Structure 1
């Protein structure tokens, strides 16, 4: 059965289109129902930038299931989505898993999202071939990080904030973090910080309802803007990301605080007066510094792309070879094992009534060991046959 991948992502569709295919719990249940008969199982990958389905079946089956589950039209999907089959589908999964297909080149989060999707898929049942494929993708990702510079440096503002915090504090579990601003950047920062171990996060926003909305999404604390001064004094890490046109944090907000503070200003125009950097115990990092680090990271990652594609080709080739080997060996091995079992079971039945129970069990064990050794000889022979067939092809 051919391998297929269908999906919709940031490359072709804006968020207003992508959100129509978002898979909440109810839609996932519907999708489970509509894909229950697909042999080998299905992998559902759903992130803020993409909704994708992978399976060993005709792509039309996946399109139909997705559209039924999201109450969308097939024609509408084909206008905004994409379809990959066989080599293209394999390549796409490897590119997604390594971060080549991410909006942020080399995205550090995508592999965790693929692992989570795989974890859910395993619960519902995946074929051995599907397991081998995903493990191959994981190896490609690991090699892309260990053999190249693809994973080095930060390549987005949200990721940069988390990396800078990790570099500064090492462990975020006990760091008191204050987010000033509950917009998109505040949300991204909260998500990244929590996924990297942060446990003590508060958010302050001019509109308390918006702060509460963000807080409820991530189980963090919300405070009114009138609490800003008090919350700054408690914080070890302050991250600002508001739409203010002038600085809202000034040196007096930080004066007299005895513990060291890291302040990350993720806003343009700046939210933090540059003179804050002159206050004792305060380290201020603004967008200029972050963009400079990002640009260097992007350049490093772009230079690694040819090597990443080599790694993907190697891993995919190795996977395909193992699949071919399994398809060649397994039927032949099963046939020999079946014939051996028929012979040994028949012979054991013939002598069973002539032996005491202990002697019979010993005979069974000897027969099992002989059978195992015979099978090993046949497996080695069939394996050599497969290599010969491959070399002659």
Structure 2
């Protein structure tokens, strides 16, 4: 069965288009409904820079499910997204998992996002072939970090946000910073800001308890969402990183504010109303604006790319070999196992009523051990047979 991916990402589409395919809770529930009959299950990777659906099925099945879930036209996805099948799709998931397809080359967050997506997909009982593919991607990622310099150096969206702020303000120690959102991106941004000298940071989150947890971790101040308007007025730098589906910051929040303000929107869908960009005293940076990163780290990672291509090639070949081996061995093993089971059941039935229960139970255990050893011999023989067939091809 062919492996397919349908998706949309930062490489081909801006944030205004990507946010149309953003999967909030309701849309994700619809997607789960529309994909529930796909054999082997699906894996859904939804981040600020991409929405991708993976499955062992024809690609149009995934296109239809994604577009139905997000109320978008399939032609629109065909125009702005991408459809990959078979080898192209297999190599794509490796590149995504290793961070080779990320906006920031070698992004350290993507593998955790893929693991989370895999864990979620696992609840729906993914097929064995799916498991083998994703586990192979995880092995390739581990090798990329252990065998190359691809994971070395600071290069991430959170780091780049801090870099942009440093370039704008020069010194972060005296500015008032407002962080909207206490999720993973908010934590990463806060850590980078603190490590670069920021001393006056406030965090606002719809859940005040979550804001307080983040505040206690970094010794910053937490405020309720009702205090947003006042805190915007006080802030020199605002970083938004929430999962809100509608804009949180609007032009009206900046009325009467004369000082220069930098706003960095790290969210998809965008947390900042587009009209904010037109305000004279506001500098707005969104995910599409974050393209420059730590150049030394990127150059080092770029030099490692040929090594990563080699790792992917080895892991893809190993994955395919495992699948071919399974397809060759499993039907034969099942046939032998059924025949052995039938023989042992027949023989045990002949003596079942001639022995006391304790003696019969012992005989049954011995029979199972003998059967297991016979199966091991046949599996070794079939494995050798598979190697001969593979060498002849």
TM-score (norm 2): 0.73
Offset, 1:212: 4.1
Q: Is the 8 A contact 2:4 2:86 kept in 1?
A: yes
Q: Which residue of 1 aligns with 2:109?
A: 109
SS across alignment from 2:359:
helix
Change (3 A) 1:336 1:244: farther
Stretches of structure 2 lacking an aligned partner (at least 5 in a row): 164-172, 213-221, 240-257, 263-280, 284-290
Offset, 1:183: 7.3
Q: Which residue of 2 aligns with 1:25?
A: 25
Q: Which residue of 2 aligns with 1:327?
A: 327
Q: Is the 8 A contact 2:181 2:204 kept in 1?
A: no
Q: Is the 8 A contact 1:97 1:137 kept in 2?
A: yes
Counterparts in 2 of 1:123-272, with a 5 A limit?
123-156=123-156, 158-159=158-159, 180-182=176-178, 190-193=186-189, 212=204, 219-220=211-212, 221-222=222-223, 224=230, 245=260
Greater RCO structure (CA 8 Å; 6+ sep): 2
Aligned mates of 2:149, 2:331 — CA distance in 1: 43
Offset, 1:185: 11
SS across alignment from 2:355:
coil
Q: Is the 8 A contact 2:182 2:211 kept in 1?
A: no
Change (3 A) 1:120 1:226: closer
Q: Is the 8 A contact 1:6 1:81 kept in 2?
A: yes
Q: Is the 8 A contact 2:108 2:156 kept in 1?
A: no
Deviations 1:301-350 (A, max 9, x none): 01000001100111111111011101110000000000110110011011
SS across alignment from 2:32:
helix
Q: Is the 8 A contact 2:180 2:186 kept in 1?
A: no
Aligned mates of 1:109, 1:99 — CA distance in 2: 8
Q: Which residue of 2 aligns with 1:96?
A: 96
Offset, 1:245: 4.7
Change (3 A) 1:362 1:295: same
Change (3 A) 1:216 1:83: farther
Aligned mates of 2:32, 2:341 — CA distance in 1: 39
Say yes or no: does 1:355 pair with 2:355: yes
Stretches of structure 1 lacking an aligned partner (at least 5 in a row): 164-176, 206-210, 230-238, 248-268, 272-290
Offset, 1:218: 5.8
Change (3 A) 1:51 1:356: same
Say yes or no: does 1:344 pair with 2:340: no
Q: Which residue of 1 aligns with 2:52?
A: 52
Aligned mates of 1:305, 1:98 — CA distance in 2: 10
Q: Is the 8 A contact 1:149 1:304 kept in 2?
A: yes
Aligned mates of 1:160, 1:392 — CA distance in 2: 53
